[in-house]
Structure 1
Amino acid sequence: MTDRPEALPEREAPSVAELERMFMGGAWPGTGFGAARPAALGVRIPGQRAYPGADSRDHARRLLRRAVNEDRPGDEVVDLVTGARGYDIERLPELYPRPDDGRWCALYEHAFLMADDTELCLYELEHDHTPDRRLVCEVYPDEITAGLAARRWEPPVT
């Protein structure tokens, strides 16, 4: 997934501590794969997406194989989505500031429509914050963890 923008908009974003207080400090209904997210994060109800992807198992397998983070979800996710009826990919708005050094970072939601009409989501953080500026992806089981991982790539406060 990449649609590297030419011009990067500037915006003020909450600190890591503020994000943790906002999203992890309060009551969070459920944990792990398929956990409910607060409505403020724009949760979608199954049926509002088209789910055009046909081979969910292969898509999940390829996504996880590309992930470079050691804490990525495991093969159990591939098994979970075996019976999924489709998948959809959406780029999410950034919850973190853009660095001034021209580096690039984007967050994608990979939503799988399960056989029971529930949705299982994986979050792909794509960035070029590597020594050789190679584009890599990291995969996380929830949007908050992916957003916090993206904060690692902020320029240091001086």
Structure 2
Amino acid sequence: MTDRPEALPERQVPSVAELERMFMDGAWPGAAFGAARPAALGVRIPGERGYPGADPGDHARRLLRRATNHDRPGAEVVELLAGARGYDIERLPELYPRPDGRRWCALYEHAFLMADDTEICLYELEHDRTPDRRLVCEVYPDEITAGLAARRWEAF
């Protein structure tokens, strides 16, 4: 929840199951830390980001087509992102580094600049936690859900 342990309250950090339950029940655990609840589909006002990607609708279609998770965003999101003016991809910091230094997953933020100058983000979790250790990607509508998925795969 934070990369600053001193910012955590003096109580035990919630388990993955507790976080999922709180999120699904509408309670947002980040509120205790002063964090705003994430907007649906990662909608936010863009900052100082460029959107160099051309044909954002095609990029969204390809991204969601290769996603292996059953709960990935659907056709309505592809339709929505077809109206975007550009996109940008950024690799986010390591989620769960291993003690041996080997990486097992990566998280990418796919930011789409919409016609009304808002930004919609999708989060791609790329990992090799498959029986044959092949690289797969999963796509989630927000960073928190992607992080929870990574925690589930961590023990695989």
Alpha-carbon distance in structure 1 between the residues aligned to 2:113 and 2:93: 22
Q: Which residue is equivalent to 2:28?
A: 24
Q: Among residues 29, 33, 44, which one is paired with 2:41 in the alignment?
A: 33
Q: Is the 8 A contact 2:122 2:141 kept in 1?
A: yes
Alpha-carbon distance in structure 1 between the residues aligned to 2:99 and 2:80: 36
Could you say if the C-alpha distance between residues 129 and 101 of structure 1 is closer, same or farther in structure 2, counting changes exceeding 3 Å? farther
Is 2:154 aligned against 1:115?
no
Q: How many residues align?
A: 136
Alpha-carbon distance in structure 2 between the residues aligned to 1:100 and 1:24: 34
Alpha-carbon distance in structure 1 between the residues aligned to 2:118 and 2:37: 16
TM-score (norm 2): 0.74
Alpha-carbon distance in structure 1 between the residues aligned to 2:76 and 2:140: 13
What is the aligned-residue RMSD (CA, Å)? Answer: 3.0
Q: Which residue is equivalent to 1:52?
A: 52
Q: Is the 8 A contact 1:85 1:113 kept in 2?
A: yes
Deviation digits for residues 42-65 of structure 1 (CA, Å, limit 9, x no counterpart): xxx525111010101100000000
Could you say if the C-alpha distance between residues 113 and 151 of structure 1 is closer, same or farther in structure 2, counting changes exceeding 3 Å? same
Q: Is the 8 A contact 1:124 1:139 kept in 2?
A: yes
Could you say if the C-alpha distance between residues 30 and 16 of structure 1 is closer, same or farther in structure 2, counting changes exceeding 3 Å? closer
Deviation digits for residues 100-134 of structure 1 (CA, Å, limit 9, x no counterpart): 59562000000000000000000000001111111
Alpha-carbon distance in structure 2 between the residues aligned to 1:144 and 1:69: 15
| Fraction of identical pairs, as percent | 73
Secondary structure of the residue that 1:152 maps to in structure 2? helix
Could you say if the C-alpha distance between residues 133 and 16 of structure 1 is closer, same or farther in structure 2, counting changes exceeding 3 Å? farther
Matched residue type, 1:57: G
TM-score (norm 1): 0.73
Secondary structure of the residue that 1:60 maps to in structure 2? helix
Contiguous gaps of at least 5 residues in structure 1: 1-10, 37-44
Is 2:122 aligned against 1:154?
no
Matched residue type, 1:90: E
Matched residue type, 1:24: W
Alpha-carbon distance in structure 2 between the residues aligned to 1:53 and 1:96: 28
Once the 2 structures are TM-superposed, how far is the Cα of residue 32 of structure 1 from its aligned partner? 1.8
Q: Is the 8 A contact 2:95 2:107 kept in 1?
A: no
By percentage of residues, which structure has more helix? 2
Secondary structure of the residue that 2:81 maps to in structure 1? helix
